[in-house]
Chains A and B, each alone.
Chain A
Amino acid sequence: MSVSFDLTIDDIYEEFEELVDWDERCDYLIDLGFDLPELPEAAKVDEHKVHGCQSNVWLVSEITPSDPPVVEFVANSDAMIVNGLIAVLMALYSGKTPREIIEVDPKVVFAKLGLERQLSPLRRNGLYSMVDRVRKLAVEAEASK
């Protein structure tokens, strides 16, 4: 899986500092969503589907054979604001080592971005399931070392 995605969570923090309210952040998330790397249609199958979402979300991930190994993933939703939130998760997690992933508390990150309402099990937009899936992958990779 080779995906060009060089947005970092620090870039997003920086951008968010300029944005005063949800309206502006929402616009930015939509922009991020439109720029999200696209999964090929063939990858949008049940096997990759993230459950617990009102919109459809597909997530494809792998652990690279590099040293140290890192987790890489791409996810796509059919909802654009969710795609923007996926971009935030990708910036946060993708290309990180399993240990780095385990050490990040996504709730703290989303609270810092003022997006805590978006990352709630009640929203059912699947972000939580995505976070769970990526963290599980990292925990398994860490355990098999």
Chain B
Amino acid sequence: MTKKLLDIEAIRRDFPILRKPLPKGLPLTYLDSGSSAQKPQCVIDKEREVYENFYANAYRGVYRFGAIVDEELEATRERIRKLINAASVDEVVFTAGTTMSLNMVASGWGRRHVKPGDEILINEMEHHANFVPWQQLAAATGATLRFIPLTDDGRLDMSRLSEVLTEKTKLLAVTGMSNVLGTINPIGELAARAHDVGAFIVIDGAQSVPHGTTDVATPGIDFLAFSSHKLYGPSGVGVLYGRKELLDETDPLLFGGHMIDRVYKDHSTWAGPPAKFEAGTIQIAQAIALGSAIDYVNAIGFDAIHAHEQQLMQHAHKRLSEIPGMRIYGPGPEHRGAIISFTIDGTHPEDLAQLLDRRGVFVRHGHHCTMPLHDLLGVSATVRTSFGVYNSQADVDALLDAIQFAREKLRVA
């Protein structure tokens, strides 16, 4: 490999879990960050600090701790705003995660604005979280679900976009980066093309936000959903970004405390966004600690993170390709982010994942919540490796050794 982009050893020291050997002294090779990323010490410390020093409910108490919690939460909201370049903190809603965020758009905005005869445009690489809510919305509203065709190498076939993106299209929902194929989608072009026909664009940023710069302002993303836990932050928290005028016209999914303006015996009125969408007690400590995760990735820098992960993925892609019987799904390295899913002829992904685990290599297997995509690929399951900021070439070496071990055990080597 060429020059060292990041001090990976220093980064790895920030993650306490990576310093702890597994039984038998095996080092941990964590290649499942696409599922959920490990947490740096600063995030763990922040969550603890909230509980140890100033915990109270949010947006309710005027007493000292209540005020600190509010300030900390709003400081995180501001960090998120800057992270995605939103115009206002009122456009940043704390949710339970990407799935919740996408459901909020599909139900809260979709059921109000999507009419019979409208079309909702998705594609077969989408995660079930960005697939099923639209399928349900179409069924509930009489709209039609349509699909952008995929190329043979697992990219959106932009040459055929105009066949399916038409004046009937109300909404285009697409992932920033496929959680299986690693495909990085041309969000800018898609947003511009969607807006050209008067459609809105919803981005599932669960996989893309942790790996590179996100900007909702140019060329204009209407809704964006992502999760804290894939961004080195705590689990249980996510974000829904929506343009202010769209959030104003989105109905809340949950009703209850904090989200109201005034409750009468016979009806109620809502607070403005984001409060309108934050009924009940949010994940207080977790949301605050998400702010620390954002500080952490900002300190390293998304350009450096992206460059490092891409270099690692390219290296892994090349080495994996050399394995006999290896089938890698998705496009070449130039069109993908730090995810590589594969099968090896004569072996089952479940066996591979279990045998890799015996070598301390943690990967995911299965359909990765993309059954339509696996139907298209003609396999019921794949093995997925996904990389984070803390992965190094040594992890790729460990993966290759473990695959060789598994191939021998499964008698294909």
Which residues of A does B touch, CB under 8 Å?
A: 22-23, 26-27, 30, 34, 54-56, 77-82, 125
Contact = CB atoms under 8 A, between A and B. Distances in A.
Counting from the closest, the 4 A-B pairs by CB-CB distance are A79-B348, A79-B350, A55-B350, A80-B351
Contacts of B365: 54
Interface string B169-195: 000000000000000000000000000
Contacts of B355: 26
A22 B360 CA distance: 13
B35 to A, nearest CB: 15
Contacts of B220: none
A80 B348 contact: yes
A79 B409 contact: no
B410 A30 contact: yes
Contact of A54 (B358, B381, B409): B381
Contacts of A26: 354-355, 358
B411 interface: yes
Most chain B CB inside 10 Å of its own CB: which residue of A23, A81, A82:
A81
B351 A79 contact: yes
A112 B272 CA distance: 59
Interface in B342-382: 347-348, 350-351, 354-355, 358, 365-366, 380-381
Interface string B195-234: 0000000000000000000000000000000000000000
B350 A81 contact: yes
B381 A55 contact: yes
A54 B366 contact: yes
Nearest to A123: B350
B358 A81 contact: no
Chain B contact residues, majority secondary structure = mixed
B410 A56 contact: no
Contacts of A27: 409
A96 to B, nearest CB: 28
Contacts of B410: 30, 80
A115 B186 CA distance: 47
B17 to A, nearest CB: 21
A122 to B, nearest CB: 13
A23 B381 contact: no
A79 B380 CA distance: 12
13 contacts: A26-B354, A27-B409, A30-B410, A54-B380, A55-B348, A55-B350, A55-B380, A77-B348, A79-B350, A80-B347, A80-B410, A82-B348, A125-B350
In this complex, which of A27, A77, A79, A125 has the most chain B Cβ atoms within 10 angstroms of its Cβ? A79
A23 B358 contact: yes
A23 B355 CA distance: 9
B351 A34 contact: no
A34 B410 CA distance: 9
B351 A56 contact: no
A22 B358 CA distance: 9
Contacts of A80: 347-348, 351, 410
A68 B61 CA distance: 74
Contacts of B347: 80
Contacts of B366: 54
A22 B351 CA distance: 14
Given A26-B355, A55-B348, 5 more contacts: A27-B409, A80-B410, A81-B350, A81-B354, A82-B348
Nearest to B355: A26
Nearest to A33: B351
